[in-house]
Chain A
Amino acid sequence: MRSDRDAVLASAGTLDEDFDEHAVLHAIAHYLPAQAPLKDFIHHNTLHAFQHLPFHGALMKASRIFGYKVYLTVNEYRRLFRDGRIRPEALDREIVARHGISNLAAWKHKLLEKSYDNAIVPRIGSLRAHWKRDRRIDLDALTHTLLFRVLNSYLDQGIAIWKFPVWDKGFLASVRELQRHAWSGLLRGERAQRLLLDEGTDIETLLELLVGDRTLYADYLFDQQFAHSGWSGLVAVIEGAPGSLLDRRRISLREIILFELLLEVDALDRQFPKGWQPLAEGMKHRPKPLFDRVTETEVDQVRALWQEAYEWTWYDELLAGIDMAERRQPTGECTQAIFCIDDRECSLRRHLEHLDPGFDTYGTAGFFGVEFHYKPEHGKFFTKVAPAPVQPKYLVKEVDSSGKMERDVHFTRHAHGLVGGWLISQSLGFWSALKLFVGIFWPSSTPGTSDSFKHMDAQASLTVEHCGLFEDGLQVGFSVQEMAQRVEATLRSIGLVKDFAAVIYVVGHGASSVNNPHYAAYDCGACSGRPGSVNARVFCQMANHPGVRSLLRERGIGIPDSTRFLGALHDTTRDEIAYYDEGTLDEAQRAAHARSRRTFIEALERNAKERSRRFPSIDSTLRGETVHDRVRRRSVSLFEPRPEYNHATNAAAIVGRRALTRSVFLDRRAFLNSYDPLLDADGNLLLGILNAVAPVCGGINLEYYFSRVDNQKLGAGTKLPHNVMGLIGVANGIEGDLRPGLPAQMIEVHDPLRLLVVVEQEPHLVLRTIQRVAATREWFVNEWVQLVTVHPVDGSMHRYTKGAFVPFVPFTRDLPLTKDVLPDIERVEGNAHIAIIQA
């Protein structure tokens, strides 16, 4: 996509060039939301189409063209300023950096006092609006309902009982077949029917009919598709990745555009039986071309400044924390645990280290460097458990599972028939009453619950080692060589190459919730929205493999035989943990494990207590056990739209040794990736880490950012009225467009800050590293994430700005000190301040 992007933009943006259907469709697909069907929810930069531009310029452009709100409002920033959440020091620093010291007062006045018109008047839609203005016809109202309904029925994955009767020929061919053989088809008018059945009809023919001016074609199609960007975006995604539907369908953006144009012709024919002229005919006032230049205004600059000041207020606090904190190492008997980089593990790690100073924790992307497809026993499909861009060649199968799927008759189709419904409503209806009553007063897990521990049967075994088998073009299991490679890469990248403990935990994570169509967004992003249990277990089986151990020894990583890797899964909603293959531990390891288990139990309880301060239904000051019970109950409560807050409040990604942050209270706001700068003279390890951190953490961060600043257009709005469409998306009511993005309940506590990537390494090495891969470079150079380095030896800091590193000294000097942060923050509402944790 990247290579031809410029061509795409050029063709979409110019008027005088001839209409090139292929290029325009490509451009439309590029700008549409790129969210996959619900089961594969993966976070990404919502404005990915603008990523080739610098952040603020891109936001301005996106806002002008597509009408997105891309910042908080000026008044919101001013309120944050009054509340001390934007500090004057940060504000002054950003103003001076951009406009010079001499203009400080003038700009400060603009930021603090001057009133601005914040209205957003987008270009998108203004051409097609002429139908309504000039001809008094509301084409959207006449076409959308049927269009959405046909699309949903065609793509439906299992809600409808009577499915789209023709499905295997591709979308348009199916519609055509339906039209040809039905007495009353989808199109009504004679002309529209004829055009549909004529296979020679193409987009240009129809545009000539409808628009009549070639220079307007591209903008017309943009207007049309962005009037329902949810559905169009999903179609574009499915076109590019047909495997994202288990029950596959062939469909393309071109087909739905053609169909929609036909619906428009049909609607116009019906409305104006005496005939009608194309849109361009008699159009007095031509709207500005969609991709015409946009010019920056003062309020754009004001908002950008406020945003920077907002960000650097918190960044400054964080960096001051890192600067001031003691670089503390684990003491006493050592236990090691590797977690996912995920911001939700940040607090669990802190609690473990607090309870047991010997705990030594590491963070890395939660697939632990082992990428494969997973096929559970009895599964008809396999599912990818690796980061989104990775295409694994391996398959790991679950065998000897005893698990069975639980059934719930409430979801069956019989309840919807006439006679079945009659019987069921008179019998089961009263059973529902009971279930409703129990569900409201004593919530418990039901077959409709998404339970992280059910991803894999802990008693079943996995086909980790390759024995010559292949399935569906995938290699079943890994060879010993391939295993060793992966284990070595992961251990080196986190800097765990010596001093191994007796038991090393490898902890994946997942989430549990009910009544939550976005459940996949709560699981591990590095495992493509699945719990990380299989990956953790596979990694451990690899690392425990005698063949792998000896290969590793040859390569200089000597893991003693007394060391055992133990896989586990942390459920971030329930704060529970499950361990895998505990039976393989020897006596000494079992003793160590028994001790650590107790630490884990206590840490999880503390973690639940810490999280509970965000949940108004729970009084955080209650006993830990009580709080933990209530936290667990949320995960199975039908009426709880916020089982957990997922990645909300994330704002930083710290790549470095744990000592850097071990005595800093980060309030669960940072992704933590372990990295030992001293083992990485050439930056190769860092490159590998940043290649993942930028798109994964940056993607999560920006999706939260944009869903927060414009929850209506870039987020999914409140989830309370959502209706599940075809198991692939959600919409409001039954007639609405699909709503990609995050629902309001996920982002309401989020502060829209860009991700600050803190790298513990020398700036010149970092500068060289981020240049090496174009895709990664773009994230930093265009400032979609911000970057600061901490020198591994002297601790000095450098801020990356305009392509270079400049020295940075935090102004914050007054951070709270604490021995145990938990009692301090129980009563704090909103985000807590960074604090220094004393030993």
Chain B
Amino acid sequence: MMRLLLPLFVLVPMAGFLISLLLKRRAEMALSRVAYLTAAAQAALISGFIVAWAMGGFGAINVKEVVLFRSKDYEFFIDLYFDRVTAVYLFMGAVLTFLITVYSRYYLHREQGYKRFFNTILFFLTGYSLTVLAGNFETLFIGWELLGLSSFLLIGFYRDRYLPVKNSVKVFSIYRVGDVGLILAMWMSHHLWHENITFHKLHNYVLVHDQLGQHTLVGAFISLAVLLAAAAKSAQLPFSSWLPRAMEGPTPSSAIFYGSLSVHIGAFLLMRTFPFWEHQFSVRVLIALLGLATGLLAAGTARVQSSVKAQIAYSSISQIGLIFIEIALGLELLALVHFMGNAFLRTYQLLVSPSVVTYLIREQFYHFTPREHSFEDTLPKRLEYTLYVLCLREWDLDTFMYRRLWNPLKRLGRALDALNINRSISILLPVFIAGLIALWQVDRLAAGLRHALPVAMGLIGLVLVLRAFTERRHVRRALAMVIMGHFWIALAISFNEHFDLSHTLIYLSGVVACGVLAIIAINRLRRTERNVDLGRFHGHVFEHPRIALAFLIACLGIAGFPITPTFLGEDLIFSHIHPDQFILAALVALSFVLNGLALIRIYARVFLGPHVKTYHEVAYRSA
């Protein structure tokens, strides 16, 4: 009985989301009602479920729901899992979403995008519920992707202004780095277990211990990949600066996402995978140290923040740092209590943050003392000033990702400017065909060549995506290069195993279909708009919301978002990369990250940001 109920926690929010899509844009009452009733139903169901489950003795529940794909040595299935961690996270998700949707009912009245807001909240709840219910990495990854997308949409809620759009792309790029962690963890664990292991099985101490005993390095690799994903999602070092920058949407959405639910998902991932790394002492030390470092730095940064939302964001990050320590120490229960308390506290603080003026001005009026000492005043002057400036600059974390990752990549991409599409087709097409022939005759190739070719092809795929990432002018050219990148990767992987056309087809089917859709959308746009390039934001969504939506969906499809078989194909592709092919894995992973980014960048540049046409009110860039 309980097992049958489990899928409901995903289906209820999903149903709410789908219903909300059907409602009219102006039907404020109906939209908000669907949203809060969905959340209320979810909260009620979960509360009942938890009571029943508690009476049944708190036992973990694992349900293998659907097998999406099966071949002789590979199975992709949706698996749901329920334990104490799931219980707490599900409960918090439903309760907070309920409170926030009721809150937003009037708060968002008359706002442009009222519908979009509630759609996205319900979409988020679906993704969140799936993530916390996930019983294996694959299921978790689906939820994870939904979360990332809903974050992108909510941060960029005010899509006609520059900063929200810039920051939504920025946060998306960091999430994408986290995604790589998850992809690599999935890849390696597939090879470690020779199956898509369920979290339930990880609780089997003997099994885990045996495997890890034989493959210490592999175990460490997976743990680190998981930690990367967790750190990115929970704004730990070195990713912390995205959280305050995510506070661009309406205050209640910032409160629920970045004050409470979304930002604690990294901690969830750690708790979920705890049995796996429990016995890797060095990993536990590393997680604790990361938590401690983040806790200290973020607490310092919070102290100097002079805007109320940034202050709350950094305070929250520092508490999550502590939660990481608690998890590393194995204090799961404490971590869960801490999560609940922190989530409620920050949500409430953010919601009442506009009141801070009334309150603190009054306090200042009645209790002002000219200068209050803080403990830093006792430090030596040089140290005090230096620390202050570093905290003020947020330890340069915001520019860190740019300086260390994106800018070098961009420079690399620009260096490839010569590679225009006509030339690349004229050169690469014959090469591609040669590759196909080589593939056909793969058994005749020398072993050395057989190992080198996939890397070379993967590299070409990466170069194309890189080039698309830095393209400044031609939209369709950039799209074409992303799509071609996928083909090259498919070709590269095909060298690895016996050529299995069906896997490649699964992988490329979504890419091709969505690629065609994307090109059609851009062509439609160009019929009325002459001004379409990638050098700046254009904001064409203002006049062409439908084309924008179609294009976004197409981009998501090409990027391997779980709406087309490509998503499954990506996982399949990875299962064909051998555990010793680190370079190939790195190339493919990097090109997955970049193609998602390149596509979101194209979408943002063409459709979002301040409108190029200024016949209506357009905000300042700095606004």
Q: Which residues of A contact B (CB under 8 A)?
A: 38-39, 67, 69, 73, 117-121, 140, 144-146, 149-150, 152-153, 156-165, 167, 178, 181-186, 227-230, 246-247, 378-381, 383, 405, 408, 410-411, 415-418, 421-422, 424-430, 432-433, 435-437, 439-441, 446-450, 514-517, 519, 616-617, 637-642, 710-713, 717-727, 731-737, 739, 745, 748
* 7 closest residue pairs by CB, A with B: A429-B341, A448-B355, A118-B615, A432-B348, A182-B385, A720-B250, A156-B306
Give CA–CA (A638, B105) in the complex, Å: 12
Residues 61 to 89 of chain B near chain A (Cβ within 8 Å): none
Whether a CB of chain A sits under 8 angstroms from the CB of B318 is yes
Name the segment of B297-305, B449-457, B500-508, B511-519 touching the other chain. Answer: B297-305
Query: CA A721 – CA B372 in complex, angstroms?
Result: 31
The answer to whether A421 touches B299, judged by C-beta atoms less than 8 angstroms apart, is yes
Task: Tell me if B352 is interfacial: C-beta within 8 Å of chain A.
Answer: yes
Q: Are B345 and A732 in contact (CB under 8 A)?
A: no
Cβ–Cβ < 8 Å partners of B338 in chain A: 422, 425-426
Complex alpha-carbon distance, A446 and B351, angstroms: 13
Asked if residues A733 and B348 are in contact (CB atoms below 8 Å), the reply is no
- Residue in contact with B319 in the complex, picked from A165, A421, A515, A733, CB distance below 8 Å: A421
Given A415-B315, A638-B352, A727-B356, also A734-B244 (CB < 8 A): yes
Contact yes or no, A160 B303, CB < 8 A: yes
Contact B308 A724 (CB under 8 A): yes
Contact B249 A163 (CB under 8 A): no
Contact B308 A516 (CB under 8 A): no
Determine, out of B142-150, B199-207, B267-275, B359-367, the stretch whose residues face the partner at the interface: B359-367
Of the 9-residue stretches B161-169, B175-183, B420-428, B541-549, which lies at the interface with chain A?
A: B161-169
Please indicate which of the listed interface residues A417, A616, A724, A726 has the most CB atoms of chain B within 10 Å of its own CB: A724
B390-398, B486-494, B590-598: which lies at the interface? B390-398
Complex CA–CA separation, A428 to B356 (angstroms) = 18
Minimum CB–CB distance for B404 against chain A, Å = 15
Which residue in A410, A449, A639, A748 is a CB contact (below 8 Å) of B358?
Answer: A449
Q: Which residue of A lies closest to B312 (CB)?
A: A416
A418-B299, A516-B358, A734-B309 given; A639·B623 CB < 8 A: no
Which of A156, A440, A721, A745 has a CB less than 8 Å from the CB of B249? A721
B614 at the interface (CB under 8 A from A): yes
A721 contacts B357, C-beta separation under 8 Å: no
Query: Are the CB atoms of B351 and A408 closer together than 8 Å?
Result: no
17 contacts between A and B (CB under 8 A): A119-B613, A145-B398, A157-B364, A165-B376, A229-B620, A246-B368, A383-B365, A405-B367, A418-B295, A430-B341, A449-B355, A519-B357, A519-B358, A638-B355, A727-B356, A736-B163, A745-B110
Residues of B within 8 A of A163 (CB): 371-372, 374
Tell me whether A379 and B366 are in contact (CB under 8 A).
yes
- Which chain B residues border A161 with CB–CB below 8 Å? 302-304, 374
Q: Given A426-B338, A713-B620, A718-B111, check contact A184 B361 (CB 8 Å).
A: no
In the complex, whether B212 has a CB less than 8 A from a CB of chain A is no
Complexed CA–CA distance, A178 and B392 (Å)? 12
Q: B222 within 8 Å of A by Cβ?
A: no
User: Besides the contacts A230-B623, A712-B618, what 12 more A-B pairs have beta carbons closer than 8 Å?
Assistant: A121-B614, A144-B622, A158-B360, A162-B374, A246-B365, A405-B362, A426-B338, A429-B343, A720-B108, A721-B249, A734-B310, A734-B313
Residue B210 at the chain A interface, CB threshold 8 Å: no
Q: Output the least CB separation between A711 and chain B (Å).
A: 6
CB distance from B383 to the nearest CB of A (A): 8
Residues B364 and A158 in contact, CB atoms below 8 Å apart: yes
Task: Report B-chain residues with C-beta under 8 Å of the C-beta of A145.
Answer: 398
Instruction: Identify which of A380, A641, A733, A737 contacts B164 (C-beta below 8 A).
Output: A733
Give the residues in chain B near A447, CB-CB below 8 Å. 359
**Inter-chain contacts of A737 with B (CB < 8 A):** 620, 622-623
Closest Cβ of chain B: how far from A43's Cβ, in Å?
18
Q: Is B509 an interface residue (CB 8 A)?
A: no
CA distance A722 to B615 in the complex (A): 25
Cα–Cα distance between A426 and B313 once the two chains are bound (Å):
17
A723 touches B353 (CB 8 A): yes
Shortest beta-carbon distance, A376 to chain B, in Å?
8
Query: For residue A516, which residues in chain B have a CB less than 8 angstroms away from its CB?
Result: 354-355, 358
- Distance to closest chain A CB from B598 (angstroms): 20
For the complex formed, measure the closest distance between the CB of B236 and the CB atoms of chain A, giving whole angstroms. Answer: 14
Q: Mark B182-200, 1 if CB is under 8 A from A, else 0.
A: 0000000000000000000
Knowing A181-B385, A429-B345, A517-B357 are in contact, say whether A160-B622 is a contact too (CB < 8 A): no
Task: Please report which residues of chain B, range 580-619, place their CB below 8 angstroms from some CB of chain A when the two chains form the complex.
Answer: 613-619
Give every chain A residue within 8 A of B355 (Cβ-Cβ): 411, 446, 448-449, 514-516, 638
Interface residue? B481 (CB, 8 A): no
Chain B residues positioned under 8 Å from A422 (CB to CB): 319, 322, 338
- Closest residue of chain B to A166 (Cβ to Cβ) is B385
Chain A contacts of B340 at CB under 8 A? 429-430
Which residues of A lie under 8 Å from residue B356 when comparing CB positions? 159, 411, 448, 724, 727
B622 close to A726 (CB less than 8 A)? no
B386 within 8 A of A: yes
* Contact flags B243-287 to A (C-beta < 8 A → 1, else 0): 011011111101000000000000000000000000000000000
Distance A514 CA – B307 CA, assembled complex (angstroms): 19
Indicate if the CB atoms of A416 and B385 lie closer than 8 Å: no
A161-B303, A181-B381, A640-B106 known; A732+B614 contact, CB < 8 A: no
| Partner pick for A410 among B109, B349, B621, CB 8 A cutoff | B349
Residues of B close to A182: CB separation below 8 A = 382, 385-386, 388-389
Identify the closest chain B residue to A441 (Cβ).
B102
Contact partners of A167 in chain B: CB under 8 A? 371
Closest residue of chain A to B389, judged by CB?
Answer: A182
Given contacts A432-B345, A721-B248, contact A437 B622 (CB under 8 A): no
Nearest-CB residue, chain B, relative to A715: B617
Q: Please, which residues of chain A bring their CB within 8 A of the CB of B106?
A: 617, 637, 639-641
Contact B386 A183 (CB under 8 A): yes
Nearest-Cβ distance from residue A360 to partner chain B, whole angstroms: 37
State whether A735 touches B348 (Cβ < 8 A): no
Question: CA of A159 to CA of B359 in the docked complex: distance in angstroms?
Answer: 11
> Do B372 and A515 have beta carbons less than 8 Å apart?
no
Bound-state CA distance A409–B391 (Å) is 25
Rounded to whole Å, the gap between the CB of A493 and the closest CB of chain B is 33
- A735 to B394: give the CA distance in the assembly, Å: 13
On chain B, the residues within 8 Å of A144 by CB distance are 622
Whether a CB of chain A sits under 8 angstroms from the CB of B107 is yes
Contact at A436–B623, with CB atoms within 8 Å?
no
Instruction: Determine the chain B residues whose CB is within 8 A of the CB of A432 once the complex forms.
Output: 344-345, 347-349
Residue of A nearest to B362 (CB): A405
Tell me, rounded to whole Å, the shortest Cβ–Cβ distance linking B1 to chain A: 30
Picked from B354, B371, B622, the residue with its CB within 8 Å of the CB of A140 is B622
Docked complex Cα distance between A638 and B103 (Å): 8
* Residues of chain B with a CB closer than 8 A to A183's CB: 382, 386
Complex: A737 Cα to B108 Cα, angstroms: 23
B314-360 contacts to A, CB under 8 A, are 314-315, 318-319, 322, 337-338, 340-349, 351-360
Contact in complex: B619, A717 (CB < 8 Å): yes
Contact of A732 with B357 at beta-carbon distance under 8 Å, contacts A181-B382, A721-B249, A723-B307 already known:
no
Instruction: Judge if B575 is at the interface, Cβ distance under 8 Å.
Output: no
Nearest residue, chain A, Cβ from B618: A712
* C-alpha gap A178/B386 in the complex (Å): 8
- Are A436 and B358 closer than 8 Å at their CB atoms? no
A736 and B623 contact, Cβ closer than 8 Å, known pairs A160-B304, A182-B382:
yes
How far is A159 from B158 in the complex, measured between Cα atoms in Å?
26
Q: Is B104 at the interface (CB under 8 A from chain A)? A: yes
Contact residues in B for A726 (Cβ distance below 8 Å): 306-307
Q: Is the CB of B306 within 8 A of A725?
A: yes
Q: Which residues of B contact A181 (CB under 8 A)?
A: 381-382, 385
Are the C-beta atoms of A152 and B307 separated by less than 8 Å?
A: yes
Q: A186 and B389: CB pair below 8 A?
A: yes
Tell me which of B103, B300, B357, B393 contacts A639 (CB under 8 A): B103
Known: A73-B616, A183-B382, A616-B109. A153 touches B304 (CB 8 A): yes
